[in-house]
Structure 1
Amino acid sequence: MNAFLTELGRNLVGRWATALTLPAAVFVAVTMVAAVLGHSHALDVALLRSHVMTVSTGPALAWAAAGFLAATAVVCLAVTALGDVVIATWGATGTGLGRPFTALRRRRWQRAVAKADTAVKAVLAGPDDRQARLRARHAVLRRDAISEIEPTCPTWAGDRLRAVADRVRRSTGLDLTATWPRLWLVLPDATRAEVATSQERCASAARTPMWALACLAVGAFWWPALVPGLWLSLMSRRRIRRSVGVYADLVESSVDLHSRDVANQLGFELTGQLTPEIGAQVTAAFQKTRHAPH
């Protein structure tokens, strides 16, 4: 899984600038306004206008512009680095600092599994009851909202991506960590472009909680900044779930549609479906082992 997870941290310079320069510039502007007005004059437009006029003429303008550009660049770099930290947590295991979070998620998931199993058994054992079917469906959705598999990561995103690797291994015998770099080379251009776009959306979503924290920090000195900070805090979880979910589906779909192409490139010449037995041999070839793993 780490092979395609690390792709989320890669940004081309042009795309990085396009995605970050504008919000970074807005944040720097908000920070400058906060420094000028503070809590006591939070909405004093006249005071803000007077400060703007002070630095809008003479050498002060050049210094202000240079400082603004430098601050924007620093914010871009900082948010990019912190977003990469968020992405790294998606690939973290349930050990070390992540152990209590993983244990908490596992307990929640186990309770949800018990409720879902009870609800499904009630539907299977009893008469046809629309309300019972709805309760069972909602119970299953609540279980899957926590994790599609038993949690082994401190975050939902990590388990969502690991669920893909688990399904690929069980259905095709392929190890996704070894398969993904080879698969990427045989994907059609349109598919690669779609996956790359999804990767960028994941990276953008990973930066959302960082923007939220930054705005909340500025809000300690200028209360209007709390509004976007709270809004971004509420939106970040939904953005991450949506973008990671789409990315995971695209990765799994790429394996489903093009894993045979990889096997054929290795000389297996498949005419039918890629079976777990053949997939294990392909994985062994990827890993440069003599025999397929048992």
Structure 2
Amino acid sequence: MTALLTEASKRVGAHWFTAVLLPGLVLVACGATAFTLGHAHALDLTRLTGEVGKLLKAQQGQLVMTGALSIAAAGVLGTAAAGIGKAVQRWWLRERFLTGGLLTRSRWSRRTRALKAAERAEIVPIAAYLPQRPTWIGDRVRLVETRVRAEYHVSAALVWPRVWLLLTEDARRPISDARARYADAVTLTGWGTFYLLAGVLWWPALVIGGAVWLTAWRRARDTLTEHADLVEAAIDVHLHALGEALGVTEGKAIDDRLRKSGP
């Protein structure tokens, strides 16, 4: 098994090895444990070590086959975890409430709590900045567009690809790093989902899955906030340079130029 892992690490990229293959092998081991112990013997280490001992005493060919199948399963699970993560991300970023406006009007909604906080602080909230989407993450993404539009009269979605082209490698690096960490957090929700599924057979996996999901959610919020702040900061700093590159200076003129609105 060790030789197989060493050879695999030479053939694949380091990131894929650490972010996909190794977590996948841990999940395969968790699944095998779930099938072996079940709920009735969930914490029976003697039973588990006995089964591992039987496996290690098997013929070399059987060990190689088991290792190869485990590595293949780990790769498939890693790919599937990324797919589940993308589905979770789409759910987080959705624009519509399943309950229509019922949830936004409830006393527990983020919008209602924001309005009450503004009332206590004796300030008039800006309607566009109040929560409008089902999730906090969705609203944080929306706020980049809203704030840039309010300040410069341009669309952040339009100017960002052009601003990115003007950035130096040093300026791009923290933005790319934050985006990569967010992507890893999203994929982590996929791993957490698989552990929750394993919990159907082995209850400790439910605890593991819950902890993984909570960690993924917290990391996603933190890294998305960092990424959104950096994107907005880059637009603040480089929008004037973009205007000069386009031959226009006013925000509305930049927006019209990028929308190809014509004269």
- TM interval, short-chain normalised: 0.7 to 0.9
Q: 2:181 aligns with which of 190, 201, 211?
A: 201
CA–CA distance in structure 1, aligned partners of residues 192 and 34 of structure 2: 16
Count of residue correspondences: 247
CA–CA distance in structure 2, aligned partners of residues 102 and 241 of structure 1: 24
Q: 1:62 aligns with which of 45, 61, 64?
A: 64
Report the CA distance between 1:148 and its aligned residue. Answer: 8.3
**Aligned twin of 2:121:** 120
Residue 289, structure 1, aligned to residue 254, structure 2: no
SS of residue matched to 2:154: coil
Residue 279, structure 1, aligned to residue 243, structure 2: no
CA–CA distance in structure 2, aligned partners of residues 284 and 114 of structure 1: 34
SS of residue matched to 2:99: helix
Q: Which amino acid aligns with 1:243?
A: T
Q: 1:237 aligns with which of 211, 217, 226?
A: 217
5 Å matches for 1:31-50?
A: 31-50=31-50
Report the CA distance between 1:76 and its aligned residue. Answer: 0.6
Residue 83, structure 1, aligned to residue 85, structure 2: yes
> What CA RMSD, in Å, does the superposition of the two structures yield over aligned residues?
2.7
CA–CA distance in structure 2, aligned partners of residues 53 and 114 of structure 1: 62
Note if contact 2:178-2:227 (Cα within 8 Å) is conserved in structure 1: yes
Q: 1:44 to 1:112 in 2, by over 3 A?
A: closer
Report the CA distance between 1:109 and its aligned residue. Answer: 3.5
Note if contact 1:148-1:159 (Cα within 8 Å) is conserved in structure 2: no
5 Å matches for 1:94-173?
A: 94=96, 98-100=97-99, 103-105=102-104, 107=106, 108-121=109-122, 149-173=129-153
CA–CA distance in structure 2, aligned partners of residues 106 and 157 of structure 1: 19
Q: Which amino acid aligns with 2:257?
A: A
The one-character-per-residue Cα deviations of 1:244-280 (angstroms, maximum 9, x if unpaired) are: 1111111111111111222121123x5xxxxxxx111
CA–CA distance in structure 2, aligned partners of residues 55 and 65 of structure 1: 11
Q: 1:70 to 1:205 in 2, by over 3 A?
A: same
Q: 1:37 to 1:188 in 2, by over 3 A?
A: same
Q: 1:194 to 1:264 in 2, by over 3 A?
A: same
SS of residue matched to 1:228: helix
CA–CA distance in structure 2, aligned partners of residues 39 and 89 of structure 1: 32
Q: 1:110 to 1:84 in 2, by over 3 A?
A: closer
Q: Which amino acid aligns with 2:35?
A: A
Give unpaired runs (5+ residues) of structure 1. 1-12, 125-139, 271-277
SS of residue matched to 1:39: coil
Give unpaired runs (5+ residues) of structure 2. 1-12
Note if contact 1:102-1:154 (Cα within 8 Å) is conserved in structure 2: no
- TM-score using structure 1 length: 0.75
- TM-score using structure 2 length: 0.83
Note if contact 1:87-1:203 (Cα within 8 Å) is conserved in structure 2: no
